[in-house]
Amino acid sequence: MTTRSLIRVLAVDDSAVVRQVMAGILNEREGFSTETAPDPLIAQEKIRKRRPDVIVLDLEMPRMDGMSFLRQLMRHSPLPVIICSGLAGSGTAAALKALQEGAVSVIAKPNVGVREFLQETAIQLADEVRAAAASRRDPAHAPPLNSASPRSQLSVGGRASSSVPSLVVIGASTGGTEAIRQILSAMPPGCPPIVITQHMPAGFTAAFAAHLDVDCAIEVREAQHGDAITRGRALIAPGNFHLQVERDGRGGMRAAVASGPLVSRHRPSVDVLMQSAALHVGVNALGVLLTGMGRDGVDGLLAMHATGARTIAQDEASCVVYGMPKEAVAAGAVDEVLPLSRIASRILQQSGRLVTQTWG
């Protein structure tokens, strides 16, 4: 394998043992080239000199903590980041915060026996790094939006639709947890049913949904197979399972949750959810594609758009990573590009609700 085709990894951890073992695990496998840094400040220098494809990051470090470094990185020079930390157990506040800030996945590192743990989970670590590297897109892959168009609100498709959406379908990836929280917290009881695919590892979506359920006026839960899709409820695809919409035979809708192959390099996949909405709901659905790296959701949003469903993409200025929405606009799948702060009100406008009303 040539040097150019190697996945360049930067492992940032204050433990010399962790750095040594992690570099050894990856470098002994074909396809990886791994450097290390003992703290984020040294990591910044290494990134400036030789930009990696993937960063594996601890959260507890001297001089700058990992969360601050992650936040800074995603704001100024986004890269796929895997959190590997003792603070990041499944469903913990630190893990959810890291995913909210843009990490693509989280590995919980034990406080003792770290060397043995890393060696035992070597295959998982290598697979996580490959998946993270695959999510990275060439920023020149999609043509830029017309620079003369205002980013704050851009009408792309120019279509008029009189249909009132009976289902809202949301897809998101990197940085999407906070975007979803902002949208759902603005939803009133009785809002249209909402189904969501957020790229998130198994074990995290239930905690994410539980946090939202406390903060929001509507019911938010991790989807289970057969759940009714009803007004005032948001269902979130469980980690490592695809979520689809299907008819229940009585005029209503229900969730279909199942395993299956990766689609657009993801499980759950936004494409899978949106394509099912295009098939079973058609013009009466509203598709929303939020911040994220890669292009998952583009084909699904395009399928919804083709049925006459209204489609919205988050704008570049409010995205943590302007990847998925940009690709969707370039593909002609988007009717409107809106800042995150306006998406909830637009959903309610499309649903015939008065957005000036204050909800509890």
Q: Which of 33, 85, 166, 173 is catalytic?
A: 173
Q: Which of 53, 227, 271, 296 is catalytic?
A: 296
- Complete edge-to-edge strand list for the sheet that includes strand 154-155: 154-155, 336-338, 310-314, 285-289, 167-172, 194-198, 233-236, 219-222
Exposed/middle/buried for residue 49 (C-beta within 10 Å: 0-12, 13-18, 19+): exposed
Please report which helix (H) or strand (E) contains residue 234, including its range: strand 233-236
Give the residues across from 55 on adjacent strands: 10, 81
Annotation says 199 is catalytic: yes
Q: Which of 39, 85, 166, 199 is catalytic?
A: 199
Length of the chain: 360
Residue 31 makes CB contacts below 8 A (sequence gap 6+) with 1, 5, 6, 7, 130
Annotation says 227 is catalytic: no
Of 257, 256, 192, 254, the residue nearest 229 (C-alpha): 254
Annotation says 173 is catalytic: yes
* Catalytic machinery residues: 173, 199, 296
